[in-house]
Amino acid sequence: MIGSRALRIEDRVLLRGAGRFAADTQRAGELHMRVVRSPVAHGRIVSIDGTEALRLEGVTAVWTYADVADLPAIGFRLTPREELLPYRQPVLARSVVRYVGEPVAVVFAESSYLAEDAAELVDVEIESLPAHLDPDAEPVVWVDAEQASWAAGNGERLPAQDSEASVFTIGYGDVDAAFSSGEGRVFTMDARIGRHTGVPMECRGLVAVYDEAEGQLIVDGAAKVPFWNREAIAAMNGLAPSQVVVRETHVGGGFGPRGELYPEDVLVTVAAMRLRAPIKWIEDRQEHLMATNHSRGQHHRLRALVDEDGYIRALDATFTLDQGAYVRTHGATVASLTASMLPGPYVIDNLRVTAHVRLTHKTPAGTYRSPGRYEGTFARERLIDAIAHGLGLSREQVRRRNLIGPEQMPYERPIQAMGTHLVHDSGDYALLIDKAAERFDFPAIRETVSRRRAAGERVGFGFGYFVEKSGIGPSEGARVVVDSAGAVTVLCGASSVGQGVDTVLAQVVAEVLDVPHDSIRVVRGRTDQFQYGRGAFATRLTVMAGSAALNAAKAVRDKAFRTAAAELAVSVEQLRIRGGVVEVEGAEHGGLDLGQIAGILEPLRASELKEEPGLAADGWFHTDHMTYPYGLHAALVRIDEGTGRLEVERFMVAYDVGRALNPLLVEGQIAGGVAQGLGGAMYEEFLYAADGTPQSTTFMDYLVPTAAEVPPIEMLVTEDAPSPLNPLGVKGAGEGGTTAVAAAIASAVDDALQRPGAIDSVPIKPDTLRRLLQPTTTHDVPTKE
Amino acid sequence: MTRSTVPVRLYVNGDRYDIDIEPRRTLADALREDCALTGTHLGCEHGVCGACTVLLDGQPVRACLMFAVQAEGASVRTVEGLAPDEETLHPVQKAFWEHHGLQCGFCTPGFLTLVTGYLEEHPEAQEDELRDVLSSNLCRCTGYQNIVTATMSAAEEMRG
Ligand code: FES
Ligand code: FES
C-alpha cells in the first residue's frame, strides 16, 4: 500500500460537485461583508463617509478604523524578527493607506449584491502622496513614530521607521579574506525575479457565526494553518481558544498565500461576534490579485571567487526583497529562506549573504511555493552558467565540481534555515545528474539542438540544479480510531490545500492495519477534532503527519494484538493481522476482526484488560531538523524569430524524494509545480504604473499558463537517498517541481540565443526576446558542452 | 428601496426550479444560491477561468457571464447532473479520477462539463484539438497533463 499508485480517496466527492468550499457554506440570516479598498497607492485618509451606503435597505453596518480601533495589528506566525514589528498591518487602514487594495472600510448587507452596491456608495476621500515603488532606491521614511509604536504593539515608544524593515547577514568562513587573497577569478551576476504569486483557483473566503447555545465562535473556510489562526482569532476577540472552532472545508489550492491570517479574516470573526449574525465574506478575483499576498520580487547581486577548475571558494551575495506595504504573518520567512538556501547543492567554502527587506507601496508579499529557493536558485544557477562560460568549461562540469559529495553526508552548513541547523540529511547529487542524463538522453538532446540550430532554428537546452527543504517540525500528531463496525478513522492536526494528504495518510494506516485505504476516513483541519496542528506549509505534511499516522496505526495494531491475545488465550507473538482481521499464525480460521476487538474494548471489559477504553491510539512525531530533497530541471526551448514567442518543447524533472509514498501523487505535485514555475518564468507578473496603480488585476493581464503553454512534464522520481530523519524515509515532494524552473528556462534561452548571460531576469517575455534577437555587433558565443 | 425581482423558470439536470430573482443575478449565482447547486464554482467572474462552465442546451457556457433570466426555459446541465446515479460516475469523471486529473478539485466541475459537452458533440476529437479545447479553462494544481490524458481516455471510453 505504501509506495503504490493508489487512487485518491478525496476525489469521488469532488468529481460529483459535492465538495464544500468556502463559498458553499450558507447560513440562515447571514450578512455579506464587502471590503472598501484604497484606490490609491499612498495617501492620507481625509474622510470616510458611509451615510449613503447605510441608507440602502438591507445594509446593516459600515465600519471604518474607528470601529475596530481596539484591535491590534496582525501578528507574525513565522520568523518574527523584532525589527519588523512596526511594519505590521492594521485590519483597517488607520490614517494612511499604503497600497491600492488596502482595506479602509467594510460594509455588511443582506446579500452579496447589495453589499457591493453599498461599498460603492461609501465615500472615501484620500489625499494622494507620492508612491515609493522601487526597492532598490534609497530607503524613505515609511511610518511615523505614532504608527510605528502602535504597529509594534509592545508598549515601547519607537521613532519613525524607514522603508528598510530589516537587513541581516548570514554566512560562514571569511569571505573578505578569500577575495583579498589575490587568487582565483571573480564572477558577478545581477539577477531579478519578478513579482508573482500562488493565485489558487479558489479565491479566499470565510464564514463565521457565534453559536450562543454552545458559546462558541465557529469559523468555516479556513485553510493551511487553522490551529494557529484559532489562537490568533481567539486573542483578537477576547475569547479562550477553546471557545473558537476553526474548520477547514475543501480548499481550492494553497501554494503559500492562502490560509494565512489576513485583515479580512479578522473582520469576519469580529463582525460575527459584534453583529451577532453569521458573516460571510468571499473575495473576488480582482480583490485577490491586489489583496492576497504577492511573492518573489527579488533582486540579487552575486559575486563569486572561483578557481580555474570552476571550484567556488567564496560567494558574496546581497539581495533586496520587495516586501510591499506591510510585513504580514510570514515575518522575515522568505528573506531568511532565500539567504540560507542560496548555496543550494554546492560546497562553497566561504559564504556571506545579506538580505534587505524593503517596503514599497504595493500589495504585501509573503510565501509562494518554494519561497526563496525559486529566487535564489535562479540567481545562483545563472551565476554558475556565467562561471562555466567564463572559464570555458561545460555547464555540467562546473556543477559537478562543486556538488557536495555523497561521502560528505550528512553535510552540515553552519547556518540556520527556518530556525533549524541546516544539515543536508542525505543525497547523492552527482548520481542524479548521471541518472537524468541517461533517462532523458541529454547527449541526444544536445545533438538535436546542434542539428536544428545548424538548420537555422533558435533552439536551446539548459538546466538548473537545486536543493529543496521539507518536513519542518517540531511536531505533528494523529489519532487512529476503529469503531465497532471496524471502520477506521484518522484524526489529525494536518491540513489540506488540495494536495491529497488524506490519501497519503490513509495509505500509511492501511498498510499497518491491512485494510483498503479507501475504506478509511480522514478528518483534519478541524480544531475541535484534534488538539494540535502546525499546518500545511513548507512541504511538511507527508513527513510529519505521515510519520505520526504511522506511529498511531502501529499503536492501534499493538493494542488490537494485546486484546486479541487475551481473548484467544494466545501470546501476542502468535498473532498477525490480515485484511483487518487479527488471527493466530497458522490457524485455518477464527480470529477477530478490528470491529470485534473494538467491541471487546468497551469501558468495563477494557478496564478488566487493563486497557484504555476503545480501539484507538495517538501517535506523535517530533523532529528538530528538516529533510532536504534535491533535483534537477532541464528544458528544451525554441524561440520564434519573428514574434519572440518562447516555446517550451520539453521539460524534464529528476527529483529524489527519499521515498515516494504514492508516486501518482508525487508526479502530480511535480507537474503542478512546474506549471507554476513556468508561469513565473514566462508569463506571470504584477506590474505597477508610476503612481502605484496595479496593472495586473484580472486574468486578462495576469497570465496563468493554460494547457496550451504547459508541455507534458517528463519525470524521473528517484529514491536513492531516503531521509534518515523519519521512519518512512520520505522527503516532501510539494515544491521541487517549481524550484529550478526559471533557472532551467533561462539557461535554455541563453543557449537558444547563443548569448551566455543574456537572460538575467524573469519573466522572460516576447519583447525581451525580440530585443535580444536584434543583430548586434558582438559575435555570438556558443555555450560549451 | 426594495429591489424588484422577476420569476424565472430554470430546468437544471432535468429538474424544474421556479425562482424569484433580481434580473441582474448571474446564472452562476442563481444555480449556486437559489438552486443550491454549489458544484458550479466561481474562480474569476470575468469569463477567463472556466470554473463556472455549465452546459446550456448541450453547449459549454460561462455561467458567470450570463444572467439567469437568459437561461429561462433552456436546459442547463451542471456537474451535479453528469453522473447517472449515486453509485456510478460519468465516464469523464471516472477518467479524471483514474488519471489523477484533479488535486484541489476547484476547477474540476468546469473541466468536466467542458469535456463532456465537447466530447458529446465531437466524439472523434484527437489530442491536439482536445488540448486546444482544454486551454479554455484554468487549473492551478495539476499542470494539465493528467487532465489531457484523462480527457483522451474518456473520449475513447465514450466512443465505446
Ligand atoms: S468564473 Fe466564470 S469564467 Fe471564471
Ligand atoms: S485541481 Fe486545483 S485548480 Fe485544478
User: How many residues does the structure list for chain B?
Assistant: 160
Residue A310 belongs to domain with CATH number: 3.30.365.10
Q: Is the pLDDT confidence value at A735 over 60?
A: yes
**pLDDT-based confidence at A575, cuts 50/70/90?**
very high
Best CA proximity match to A492, nearest among A504, A483, A108, A643: A504
Chain B positions in Cβ-Cβ contact with residue A18 (cut-off 8 Å): 39, 80
Q: Which of B53, B79, B99, B106 to mutate to test the pocket of ligand 2 (most atoms within 8 A of CB)?
A: B106
Tell me how many residue pairs between chain A and chain B have CB atoms under 8 A apart. Answer: 182
Tens of pLDDT, residue by residue over A189-198, are 999 999 999 9
| CB-neighbour burial class of residue A574 (10 A; exposed 0-12, middle 13-18, buried 19+) | middle
Residue A270 CA to residue A210 CA, distance in Å, equals 10
Residue A61 belongs to domain with CATH number: 3.90.1170.50
Subunit contact A675:B144, Cβ cutoff 8 A: yes
pLDDT at A203: 98
Q: Is the pLDDT confidence value at B115 over 70?
A: yes
Residue A20 CA to residue A156 CA, distance in Å, equals 45
Q: Which of A599, A622, A645 is the last residue of a domain?
A: A622
Say yes or no: B36 and B76 in one domain.
Answer: yes
Which residue's entry shows cell 535562479? A378
Say yes or no: B100 and B39 in one domain.
Answer: no
Q: Is the pLDDT confidence value at A78 over 90?
A: no
3-state DSSP assignment of residue A671: helix
Does A491 map to a domain? Answer: yes
Q: Is beta strand A592-593 parallel, antiparallel or unpaired with respect to A350-359?
A: unpaired
Mean pLDDT over A236-240 rounds to 95
Q: Which of residues 23-42 of B touch A (CB under 8 A)?
A: 24-25, 29, 32-33, 36-42
Does B54 map to a domain? Answer: yes
Chain A CB within 8 Å of residue B13 CB: no
Lookup: cell for A642: 519573428
Q: For all residues of chain B together, what is the average pLDDT?
A: 96
Say yes or no: B62 and B95 in one domain.
Answer: no
Say yes or no: B15 and B71 in one domain.
Answer: yes
pLDDT at A315: 98
Chain A CB within 8 Å of residue B98 CB: yes
Say yes or no: B142 and B99 in one domain.
Answer: yes
**B2: DSSP letter:** P
Say yes or no: A592 and A546 in one domain.
Answer: yes
Chain A CB within 8 Å of residue B51 CB: yes
Say yes or no: A646 and A739 in one domain.
Answer: yes
Subunit contact B100:A7, Cβ cutoff 8 A: yes
Q: For all residues of chain A together, what is the average pLDDT?
A: 95
Q: By the 8 A CB rule, do B115 and B50 touch?
A: no
Does B10 map to a domain? Answer: yes
Residue B68 belongs to domain with CATH number: 3.10.20.30
Mean pLDDT over A280-294 rounds to 98
Q: Which of B63, B81, B99 is the last residue of a domain?
A: B81
Tens of pLDDT, residue by residue over B45-55, are 999 999 999 99
pLDDT at A87: 98
Does B40 map to a domain? Answer: yes
Chain A CB within 8 Å of residue B11 CB: no
Strand partners, A210: A217
Subunit contact A21:B41, Cβ cutoff 8 A: yes
Residue B112 CB less than 6 A away from ligand 2: no
Say yes or no: A480 and A597 in one domain.
Answer: yes
Q: How many CB atoms lie within 10 A of CB A338?
A: 27
Q: Is the pLDDT confidence value at B127 over 80?
A: yes
pLDDT at A751: 97
Lookup: cell for A729: 524515509
Does A497 map to a domain? Answer: yes
Q: Which of B81, B105, B139 is the last residue of a domain?
A: B81
Chain A CB within 8 Å of residue B67 CB: no
Residue A750 CA to residue A745 CA, distance in Å, equals 9
Q: Report helix angle A429-440 to A442-454, nearest 10.
A: 60
Residue type, A293: N
Q: Is the pLDDT confidence value at A653 over 90?
A: yes
Residue B117 CA to residue B76 CA, distance in Å, equals 11
Does A348 map to a domain? Answer: yes
Mean pLDDT over A736-741 rounds to 97
Does B1 map to a domain? Answer: no
Does A189 map to a domain? Answer: no
Q: By the 8 A CB rule, do A120 and A72 touch?
A: no
Which ligand sits closest to the CA of A200? 2
Nearest CA to ligand 1 atom 3: B47
pLDDT at A473: 81
Does A179 map to a domain? Answer: no
Say yes or no: A681 and A726 in one domain.
Answer: yes
Say yes or no: A481 and A466 in one domain.
Answer: no
Say yes or no: A124 and A266 in one domain.
Answer: yes
Chain A positions in Cβ-Cβ contact with residue B108 (cut-off 8 Å): 14-15
Cis peptide before A345 (omega within 30 of 0): no
3-state DSSP assignment of residue A51: helix
Subunit contact A202:B100, Cβ cutoff 8 A: no
Mean pLDDT over A387-400 rounds to 97
pLDDT at B114: 98
Q: Tell me the shortest Cα–Cα distance from A768 to chain B, in angstroms.
A: 25
DSSP string covering A173-194: S-HHHHHTT--SEEEEEEEEEE
Range of the domain at A83: 11-160+203-250+258-291
Say yes or no: B98 and B73 in one domain.
Answer: no
Residue type, A512: V
**pLDDT-based confidence at A474, cuts 50/70/90?**
confident
Lookup: cell for B31: 444555480
Mean pLDDT over A229-252 rounds to 94
Say yes or no: B95 and B150 in one domain.
Answer: yes
**pLDDT-based confidence at A543, cuts 50/70/90?**
confident
Q: Which of A560, A593, A622 is the last residue of a domain?
A: A622
Q: By the 8 A CB rule, do A553 and A577 touch?
A: no
Say yes or no: A574 and A634 in one domain.
Answer: no
Number of domains in chain B: 2
Say yes or no: B10 and B77 in one domain.
Answer: yes
Element (H, E) at A373: helix A373-391
Cα angle A576-A579-A581, degrees, rounded to a multiple of 5: 55
**pLDDT-based confidence at A776, cuts 50/70/90?**
low
Q: Is beta strand B75-77 parallel, antiparallel or unpaired with respect to B6-12?
A: parallel
Say yes or no: A464 and A523 in one domain.
Answer: no
Does B135 map to a domain? Answer: yes
Say yes or no: B70 and B16 in one domain.
Answer: yes
Number of domains in chain A: 3
Residue B42 CB less than 6 A away from ligand 1: yes
Q: Is the pLDDT confidence value at A104 over 90?
A: yes
**pLDDT-based confidence at A775, cuts 50/70/90?**
confident
Does B139 map to a domain? Answer: yes
Q: Is the pLDDT confidence value at A319 over 80?
A: yes
Q: How many CB atoms lie within 10 A of CB A384?
A: 26
ipTM of this complex prediction, to 2 decimal places: 0.98
Q: Is the pLDDT confidence value at A304 over 60?
A: yes
Does A380 map to a domain? Answer: yes
Q: Which of A267, A291, A315 is the last residue of a domain?
A: A291
Range of the domain at B112: 91-159
Chain A positions in Cβ-Cβ contact with residue B43 (cut-off 8 Å): 201-203, 252, 285
Say yes or no: B71 and B119 in one domain.
Answer: no
Lookup: cell for A523: 478528518
Tens of pLDDT, residue by residue over A441-467, are 999 999 999 999 999 999 999 999 999
Residue A498 CB less than 6 A away from ligand 2: yes
Residue B25 CB less than 6 A away from ligand 1: no
Note the maximum CA span of chain B. Answer: 58
Best CA proximity match to A358, nearest among A87, A680, A160: A87
Does B38 map to a domain? Answer: yes
**B30: DSSP letter:** I
pLDDT at A724: 94
Does A167 map to a domain? Answer: no
Say yes or no: A572 and A673 in one domain.
Answer: no
Q: Which residue of B has its CA nearest to A669?
A: B142
pLDDT at A46: 98
Residue B142 CB less than 6 A away from ligand 2: yes
Best CA proximity match to A271, nearest among A54, A117, A92, A93: A92
Residue B68 CB less than 6 A away from ligand 2: no
Which numbered atom of ligand 1 lies nearest the CA of B41?
Answer: 1
Say yes or no: A609 and A646 in one domain.
Answer: no
Nearest to B38 among A10, A24, A707 (CB): A24
Best CA proximity match to A633, nearest among A733, A720, A537, A748: A748
Say yes or no: B77 and B10 in one domain.
Answer: yes
Does B86 map to a domain? Answer: no
Strand partners, A44: A96, A127
Q: Is the pLDDT confidence value at B1 over 50?
A: no
pLDDT at A84: 96
Residue A463 CA to residue A654 CA, distance in Å, equals 11
pLDDT at A542: 82
Which residue's entry shows cell 433570466? B69
3-state DSSP assignment of residue A66: helix
Q: How far lies A115's CA from each of A62, A112, A202, A692, B2, in Å?
A: 10, 5, 20, 27, 14
Mean pLDDT over A379-391 rounds to 98
Residue B151 belongs to domain with CATH number: 1.10.150.120
Distance B49 CA to ligand 1 centre (A): 5
Tens of pLDDT, residue by residue over A579-620, are 999 999 988 778 999 999 999 999 999 999 999 999 999 999
Residue type, B90: H
Chain B positions in Cβ-Cβ contact with residue A17 (cut-off 8 Å): 37-40, 78-80, 109
Say yes or no: A610 and A517 in one domain.
Answer: yes
3-state DSSP assignment of residue A388: helix
Does A177 map to a domain? Answer: no
Residue A569 CA to residue A522 CA, distance in Å, equals 34
pLDDT at B11: 98
Strand partners, A762: A193
Q: Which of B62, B81, B100 is the last residue of a domain?
A: B81
Best CA proximity match to A115, nearest among A106, A104, A123: A106
Say yes or no: B97 and B68 in one domain.
Answer: no
Subunit contact A201:B142, Cβ cutoff 8 A: no
Say yes or no: A277 and A419 in one domain.
Answer: no
Chain B positions in Cβ-Cβ contact with residue A287 (cut-off 8 Å): none
Q: Is beta strand A312-324 parallel, antiparallel or unpaired with respect to A295-306?
A: antiparallel
